[in-house]
Amino acid sequence: MVNRAEHFVLSSISSRARLHGVVIDSGKGSFLCDTEGKRYLDLGAGLWCAILGHSNPEFNKALMDQIERIIHIGGGFWSTPVLEAVEQIASVAPENLNKTTLLCTGSEAGEFAIKMAKVLTGKYEIVGMERGYYGITHGTLSASGQGTTHGMTSPRMTGCHKVLAPYCYRCPVHEEYPGCDFLCLEVSKQLLDSNSTGSIAGFIFEPILVSGGIIVPPEGYFKRLKQLANEYSAVLIDDEVTTGIGRTGEWFGIQSYDIVPDVLFMSKTLGGGFPVAAVVTTPEIDARLLEKHLTHSQSHLFDPLPAAAASAVIKIVKKERLVERSKKEGDYFLRRLNELKEKHGLVGDVRGKGLTLGIEIVNPKNKSPNLEAGSRLETELFRRGMIASFSTYAGVLRILPPLTIEREEIDHAVDTLDDSLRKVATKHALN
């Protein structure tokens, strides 16, 4: 099977299948199973999407029922699952965000959000965040703070600026919270004022910088960022692609920070593994966009099948109280990971909210990033039947399991990490 992949698959990403020769055949709950029958505890929920676990029976039934009714009708008609999905999204979204467009992917949703900001303001500059990541399309990747990491070799979209990331473990301005008074944002404002043409349309951010290294902004940061956006009369865009639908112990990551954005977009977690995305805003902004004749059309706008997936995910998360479970089990998981921090010099920092967690791997002597040890750790975990991705960009092992993960699976994960860290540290010392 691997030989078939080598012959016929055009792949632009280095995958575990290439590295380890593994072909996945099935999944159940928190586990994946390969064609040889080996099981893997999936601490990534696929690519941070399968929050209900793999092969959730209720979710699968909702998809099959919709497949038997209709899959695609084009964007010129409403359908029952679409009307149900937008109502379900409004029922859990932050206050007054109740107008939704349904799309396919997070990158596309990010593009639409950026387009909205430009049409609303009549301006064109977009401010992202260093270490932020908003999608793989040209506009979203231009706004991201790690474009070259994702293969961006052409010039970025005109008018893209960045604010410094609130990376307290490695503060970019060498201060300490809370005494810093968010100096990172003050420095960023000075850079914006000196580089912007005065045409800032929007600020785009993630409540937790997941691809950037599970960076959790400190309390008060987003209120200050919103004030900054208001100073430029800019639209505040919240990227909840990874942090939405219970992943952080709240329905949306921004709800931990007591602000409401102007536009919110989501994907990954909304479909539970099925591709669907949503862009949500207020009735007031929707009315202004209608006046300005904003259009955004594509082949799969408001398709019934993805809408049914989104509805099913939200209903199951509500019924099984998975938001509360994410907070409870995430707090427990974080405590257990901090135990590893006390035991292993390779663990420089542990951080996260809910079931969005990260372990920063460092050189014990000077706390500098230790990419070699982190890559070895990922490989060792995989060998032991556990999947967690190490980012060589961020130097962080990222842990985002299904929200349905069991307590004993968490304990097993920590025990496996403990043994693997010990083995990697021994090899690292020998080298």
Whether the CB-CB separation of 272 and 56 falls below 8 Å is answered with yes
Are both 357 and 423 inside the same structural domain? yes
pLDDT at 295: 83
In 3-state terms, the chain is what percent helix, strand and coil (to 5)? 45, 15, 40
Are both 80 and 34 inside the same structural domain? no
Length of the chain: 431
Cα–Cα dist 280/237, whole Å = 10
203: helix, strand or coil: strand
Whether the CB-CB separation of 16 and 375 falls below 8 Å is answered with no
Are both 213 and 283 inside the same structural domain? yes
Cα–Cα dist 256/208, whole Å = 11
pLDDT at 13: 62
Are both 375 and 314 inside the same structural domain? no
Are both 51 and 179 inside the same structural domain? no
Domain boundary (292, 319, 346) is at: 319
Are both 74 and 136 inside the same structural domain? yes
Per-residue pLDDT tens, the chain, 431 aa: give them. 556 777 777 766 655 555 667 889 999 999 999 999 999 999 999 999 999 999 999 999 999 999 999 999 987 789 999 999 999 999 999 999 999 999 999 999 999 999 999 999 999 999 999 999 999 999 999 999 875 665 566 678 889 999 999 999 999 999 999 999 999 999 999 999 999 999 999 999 999 999 999 999 999 999 999 999 999 999 999 999 999 999 999 999 999 999 999 999 999 999 999 999 999 999 999 999 999 999 888 889 999 999 999 999 999 999 999 999 999 999 999 999 999 999 999 999 999 999 999 999 999 999 999 999 999 999 999 999 999 999 999 999 999 999 999 999 999 999 999 999 999 998 766 55
Are both 83 and 134 inside the same structural domain? yes
pLDDT at 69: 96
Instruction: State the CATH number of the domain containing residue 345.
Output: 3.90.1150.10
Whether the CB-CB separation of 102 and 265 falls below 8 Å is answered with no
pLDDT at 298: 86
How many domains, the chain?
2
What is the CA 151 to chain-centroid distance, rounded?
Answer: 19
Domain boundary (285, 319, 353) is at: 319
pLDDT at 155: 74
The range of the structural domain enclosing residue 353 comes to: 2-55+321-430
Are both 260 and 136 inside the same structural domain? yes
Q: Tell me the β-bridge partners of 235.
A: 202
pLDDT at 429: 66
Are both 355 and 264 inside the same structural domain? no
Instruction: State the CATH number of the domain containing residue 224.
Output: 3.40.640.10
Are both 399 and 283 inside the same structural domain? no
pLDDT at 430: 54
DSSP state letter for 157: P
Are both 296 and 342 inside the same structural domain? no
Cα–Cα dist 339/416, whole Å = 13
Are both 219 and 230 inside the same structural domain? yes
Domain boundary (279, 299, 319) is at: 319
H-state helical runs in 9-100: 16-20, 45-48, 57-69, 80-92
74 exposure class (CB count in 10 Å sphere: 0-12, 13-18, 19+): exposed
Tokens of 346: 């390779």
pTM of the model: 0.94
pLDDT at 152: 60
